[in-house]
Amino acid sequence: MVTELPHSRQFQVRNHDHRTGPKPQFYEKYFVQTLDHFNYNSMGNGTYEQRYLITDEHWKVGYGPIFFYTGNEGDIWEFALNSGFIMELAVQQRALVIFAEHRYYGKSLPFGQDSFNIPEIGLLTVEQALADYAVMITELKKQLGASACPVIVFGGSYGGMLSVYMRLRYSNIVAGALAASAPILSTAGMGESKQFFQDVTMDFEKIAPLCTSVIREGFQRLQELAQAKDYGRIQSAFSLCKIPTSQKDIHQLNGFLRNAFTLMAMLDYPYSTHFMGNMPANPVEVACNTMLSGSDLLHALKDTAGIVYNSTGALTCFDLYSLYVECADPTGCGLGFNSLAWDYQACTEIEMCFESNNVSDMFPAMPFTERNREQYCSKRWGVIPRSGWLKTQFWGDDLSAASNIIFSNGDLDPWANGGVRKTLSSSLIAINIPEGAHHLDLREANDADPASVIKARQMESDTIAQWIKMERQRYR
């Protein structure tokens, strides 16, 4: 779901002086966590060190609420440094803030470098991750004398799904959840396979219908060259480090390009960002300008991909297989350890059968059926995905017994229509942000913020304040 870009993380963590809001002064700590919550006799009958970030800078000790970020598929610093809204809320509410890292990501590798072997990878499941958070919250509340402090969970994207699930499964521990851009329906097999890339395409269409036409045409030109096996021309047009030699390489190039457009749509923020790589302000507009200004379509496509893959201009050529990893998630698996762990999750519980079809979207048709997924996952990880499991386990759209969840989504975000878009009850609230990209609302305030996200954050803030108040009454 997340594609992390090369060279970005180090930059991120070390240089966050560009931030304008309250700077989080996190302590980085490790929690001794149960390896296997669901089998007392497995290899997991032990513990591992789970990383978390914590700051009590604004906390009214023993009274202020706990804001707990349910970490998703990546280094936890990445999320901590790109969720400034939580810190802004923490100041208002005098909250203790914790960002917990998801097992098998970042530095929370249960078996070190062996974590991605079979069978060690088997302890990577949504349920284990949720149990980690439940145990961590329970234990830290004790240690910190915070037993009466209401806990609100926050998360973006898959992290938002985890926040929803925490509220559903651990209502005893979690008083409410802000789930930003959480595609709980599409990942549970309740979406349409064409939805995602159609919505990516729509973002570009909104800038200018000509933009999508030109992108389509660029892909078409590439296809013609590939059919003619004019691989030399393709290499030079796209500045590829290695000459493509097969249909497989062309497929990889198409995936690499499609992924660039996907990322620009997801991260179409109104100011430049350094989340999952460097992105200019309004990247979709920048991309369309690039596409429309080039004289050569293929070069324009390459330059557009370069916005994502070569923001610093340091690369002299594109190494397709290192810059983009194809996996069980057609929207991208990221790079490095992330890619392995997320690939496994997309092969087991998280259903991601999105495909482009060149009809409802501007990309080459790249089918990815349930059967493709099964074959890949069986070969790669020795697993057969269990369709319908996430829906059974985490309720799908049957949320009538749930409460205290905000589902926020931005209309620019291709993930949005895989989530809950309509308010379901007085305590299951959908907030839609017309000018918002992927969990923009979780980011700190910025002068370039559209009015819709400012309004959304205000509603979120008010609702969370109300949950905290209600929870306090319950403790009395």
Would residue 37 show up in a list of annotated catalytic residues for this protein?
Answer: no
Closest CB to a second copy among residues 69, 344? 344
Element of type H or E holding 409: strand 405-410
Beta sheet of 47-55, edge-to-edge order:
27-34, 47-55, 96-100, 66-70, 151-156, 176-180, 405-410, 428-433
Q: What is the DSSP letter of 465?
A: H
Q: Which residues inside 374-413 make contact with a second copy, applying CB under 8 A?
A: 381-384, 386, 388-389, 392-393, 395-396, 398-404
Residue in 19, 34, 94, 231 binding a second copy, rule: CB under 8 A: 34
Number of residues binding to a second copy, judged by CB under 8 A: 48
Would residue 114 show up in a list of annotated catalytic residues for this protein?
Answer: no
> Distances in Å between the alpha carbon of 348 and those of 16, 42, 337, 366, 461?
35, 19, 17, 21, 35
Candidate ranges 1-9, 21-29, 168-176, 205-213; the one touching a second copy (CB under 8 A): 168-176
38 lies in the site for a second copy, by CB under 8 A = yes
| 3-class SS of residue 146 | coil
Residue in 16, 135, 223, 465 binding a second copy, rule: CB under 8 A: 135
Measured between alpha carbons, how far is 287 from 301 in angstroms, rounded to an integer?
A: 9
Contact 67, 90 (CB under 8 A): yes
- Residue from 58, 102, 274, 438 carrying the catalytic annotation: 438
Measured between alpha carbons, how far is 366 from 345 in angstroms, rounded to an integer?
A: 21
> Distances in Å between the alpha carbon of 101 and those of 85, 114, 146?
18, 18, 21
Measured between alpha carbons, how far is 273 from 422 in angstroms, rounded to an integer?
A: 29
Shortest distance in whole angstroms from residue 405 CB to a second copy = 11
Closest CB to a second copy among residues 192, 397? 397
Measured between alpha carbons, how far is 254 from 320 in angstroms, rounded to an integer?
A: 10
Show the binding pattern over residues 320-359: x = contacts a second copy (CB under 8 A), - = does not: ---------------------------xx-----------
Residue in 169, 438, 443, 457 binding a second copy, rule: CB under 8 A: 169
Closest CB to a second copy among residues 142, 248? 142
Closest CB to a second copy among residues 40, 316? 40
Would residue 295 show up in a list of annotated catalytic residues for this protein?
Answer: no
Contact 425, 54 (CB under 8 A): no
Residue in 122, 191, 330, 364 binding a second copy, rule: CB under 8 A: 122
Show the binding pattern over residues 172-191: x = contacts a second copy (CB under 8 A), - = does not: xx------------------
Contact 319, 329 (CB under 8 A): no
Q: Which residues are CB-contacts of 476 (< 8 A; sequence separation ≥ 6)?
A: none
Contact 329, 343 (CB under 8 A): yes
Contact 203, 195 (CB under 8 A): no
Residue in 42, 246, 375, 425 binding a second copy, rule: CB under 8 A: 42
Closest CB to a second copy among residues 42, 466? 42
Radius of gyration for the chain, computed over Cα atoms and rounded to the nearest angstrom = 22
| 3-class SS of residue 53 | strand
Measured between alpha carbons, how far is 266 from 1 in angstroms, rounded to an integer?
A: 10
Closest CB to a second copy among residues 135, 144? 135
Closest CB to a second copy among residues 123, 305? 123
Residue in 39, 236, 247, 375 binding a second copy, rule: CB under 8 A: 39
Candidate ranges 91-99, 129-137, 238-246, 434-442; the one touching a second copy (CB under 8 A): 129-137
Shortest distance in whole angstroms from residue 165 CB to a second copy = 11
Residue count (the chain): 476
Shortest distance in whole angstroms from residue 395 CB to a second copy = 4
Give Dmax (Cα) for the chain.
75
47 lies in the site for a second copy, by CB under 8 A = no
Closest CB to a second copy among residues 44, 74? 44
422 lies in the site for a second copy, by CB under 8 A = no
Q: Which residues inside 442-471 make contact with a second copy, applying CB under 8 A?
A: none
Measured between alpha carbons, how far is 48 from 114 in angstroms, rounded to an integer?
A: 13
- Residue from 83, 115, 157, 356 carrying the catalytic annotation: 157
Q: What is the DSSP letter of 426?
A: T
State the residues that interact with a second copy by CB under 8 A: 34, 36-42, 45, 118-119, 121-123, 125, 127-128, 131, 134-135, 138, 168-173, 347-348, 381-384, 386, 388-389, 392-393, 395-396, 398-404, 474
Catalytic residue numbers read: 157, 413, 438
